[in-house]
Amino acid sequence: MKIIDGKQIAADTRARIKEETSLLIEKTGVTPGLAVILVGDDPASAVYVRNKSKDCAEVGFKSFEHILPASTTQEELEALVKNLNADSSVHGILCQLPLPKHLDERAVINLIDPKKDVDAFHPENVGRIMIGEYDFLPCTPAGVMELIHSTGISVGGKKCVVVGRSNIVGKPMAMLLLHENGTVTVCHSRTKDLKAETLQADILVAAVGKAKLIGADMVKDGAVVIDVGMNRDENGKLCGDVDFEAVKDKASYITPVPGGVGPMTRAMLMQNTLTAYKLAMNLE
């Protein structure tokens, strides 16, 4: 069993982005800019925003933070998005989800310029992922693919099982595995016999948000196991959807929680922002 070190792979990714960014700034005189919108005072979201701003500083991007009160109206939020769409110093726009209940998330996502949509949630970008002609990929599935590639194991012809069917992770994850010629099964809460499905997986991606759902009896010997879950166990400790201690000896490769997929999600946001900048500057 080898532990896939997401922290190290993310650090290598940021170093590569930093190097490329400094060369491009030298050439164009323009610095890539990422705008992050946070509505309300969700503590977890506030931590994410701080981390994103730290990542921007590390790779040489400008970071524009828009922290709005929970009482913000739909009109105010949409006006901000329109301003950011029109601002040429902003290359990527990210609206931190979930939004407070009274706001229409879908309307906000649909309003973001698809060329600045570094989360790849806009329907146009989702459609482009479907047909395999995309500029951006959602950050978490893109990070998972990088982690799988780091093992040197090819996805082609492998039985891939994705547990979870969210629009943010599960569905795009299945498409990316399919684009690399995996044979993909998507499991969810209505799947009749989850264990029978996961036992067939050469590559297993767990993304449901249920602590330690995947036990050793559900994993095939030698499988690559990627854990997207971020939960708290009965002692309040961070843990994933996979029972790491139980499963690690059966897997050929496995990601830890924390330190696996999380850092890669952040690194891929930087990658998407760099891509958006290159598109805006006609450098692609």
Kindly list the catalytic residues: 52, 96, 119
Of 68, 100, 63, 98, nearest in space to 81 by CA: 68
The rounded distance, in Å, linking the Cα atoms of 46 and 96 is 9
**Strand ranges across the sheet with 92-95:** 62-68, 33-39, 92-95
C-alpha distances in Å from residue 239, one per residue of 65, 71, 209, 267: 29, 33, 10, 21
Supply 100's token pair: 């407070």
Helices within 97-218 (DSSP H only): 105-111, 123-131, 139-150, 170-179, 194-198
The rounded distance, in Å, linking the Cα atoms of 12 and 190 is 39
Residue 61 and residue 272 in contact, taking contact as beta carbons nearer than 8 Å = no
